[in-house]
Amino acid sequence: MNTPALLSVEGVTAGFGATTVLHGLSFTVQQGEIAGIFGLNGAGKSVSMKVLAGVVPLRSGRIMFGGRDITSVPAEDRVAAGMGHVPQGRQVFPALTVEENLRLGAYTLRRRDRRLLSPGSAGGSRYATALDGVFDRFPLLAERRSQLAGTLSGGQQASLAVARALINEPALILVDEPSAGLSPVAVAELFRTLKAVAGSGVTMVLVEQNVTFGLELADRAHILQTGRIVYSGDVAALDQDALAGYLGIGRMLGDMTAAALTSRRPALDTREVPERRAARRAARAQRRRAATS
């Protein structure tokens, strides 16, 4: 029996005003999986994340999370249900300290237990435990807990945004363009952070323009074009040519992407070659159908 998906997106349409951006978005995410959503600019990646987070309402379709229909559930209630969100651009509060940013992130945790407002109560201990857990995971933030968030480096702000999403101990986090604007050193540090988060059992949906970074992190990839998923597969089994075609990857970037895909593939013996060829044929057929639809 197949395990039910933690997140299921079914035929979602959404947009702004007279403009429709998502045209029947559908995909699933299993418990413990890192799902990567990739696409060219304008494909609808960030809108997809905002719809999942409850920031942008959908026009039709359905979203199931943990077996519950959350299609019409407000954003803050999705957080309370176990969904965290790391928005594009990180969006930390620059005039607040690191710890104050984390406290705001724990709003729903504190709301669920009003006793938190009473010093020394069980609620206060609960928040303190959650905060200590985040600082254990992000020791640099612990060192800078009293520092204004606006004075942190880009990589440190990225860590703070992830930590803020994790303080409520979510089952799923939505991470939107985490590597944007970061130096290569900061990107490498962020990769280790997100890998460690996933290793702790948190499920993740990742939108990423940096395809190489995303493929090195994701378990399963979904390629988005004009608001629809046109190609999906386990990263270890993706067709390199199909991926390059959908994403318009040039030769140099294609070499980097190929290296990322190769690093994710287990050693294969000759008995697996027919299966690989069949998968490639199926991917090409799927791409042709998408092009003619």
Query: In this structure, what token pair is assigned to residue 172?
Result: 């799923």
For residue 260, the model assigns a pLDDT of: 66
Specify the length of the chain in residues: 293
For residue 218, the model assigns a pLDDT of: 93
3-state secondary structure at position 43? coil
Question: Considering only CA atoms, which of 180, 155, 161, 194 is closest in space to residue 41?
Answer: 180
Which pLDDT tens digit goes with each residue over 189-248?
888 889 999 988 999 999 988 888 899 999 999 999 999 999 999 998 888 888 888 887
Residue 118 has pLDDT above 80, yes or no: no
3-state secondary structure at position 216? helix
Angle, helices 154-166 vs 122-137, to 10°: value is 140
- Tokens 């067709």, located at residue: 239
Residue 97 has pLDDT above 90, yes or no: yes
Q: Looking at residues 62-79, what average pLDDT do you find?
A: 95
Could you tell me if residue 35 is inside a domain?
Answer: yes
Q: Looking at residues 265-272, what average pLDDT do you find?
A: 46
Which pLDDT tens digit goes with each residue over 164-187?
999 988 999 999 998 888 888 988
Could you tell me if residue 208 is inside a domain?
Answer: yes
> Which of the four pLDDT bands, split at 50, 70 and 90, describes residue 112?
low
Could you tell me if residue 281 is inside a domain?
Answer: no
Q: Looking at residues 89-93, what average pLDDT do you find?
A: 86
Could you tell me if residue 118 is inside a domain?
Answer: no
What single-letter amino acid sits at 103? R
Provide the domain limits for residue 39.
7-92+152-213
Can you give the CATH number for the domain in which 52 is found?
3.40.50.300
Buried b (16+ CB within 10 A) or exposed e, 165-178: bbbbebbbbbbbbb
For residue 273, the model assigns a pLDDT of: 42
pTM of the complete model = 0.80
As for how many domains the chain has, the answer is 1
Kindly give, in sequence order, each residue whose CB lies less than 8 Å from that of residue 252, ignoring residues fewer than 6 positions away.
Answer: none
Could you tell me if residue 290 is inside a domain?
Answer: no
Task: State the Cα–Cα distance between residues 13 and 255, nearest whole angstrom.
Answer: 35
Could you tell me if residue 205 is inside a domain?
Answer: yes
Kindly give, in sequence order, each residue whose CB lies less than 8 Å from that of residue 134, ignoring residues fewer than 6 positions away.
Answer: 102, 141, 163, 166, 167
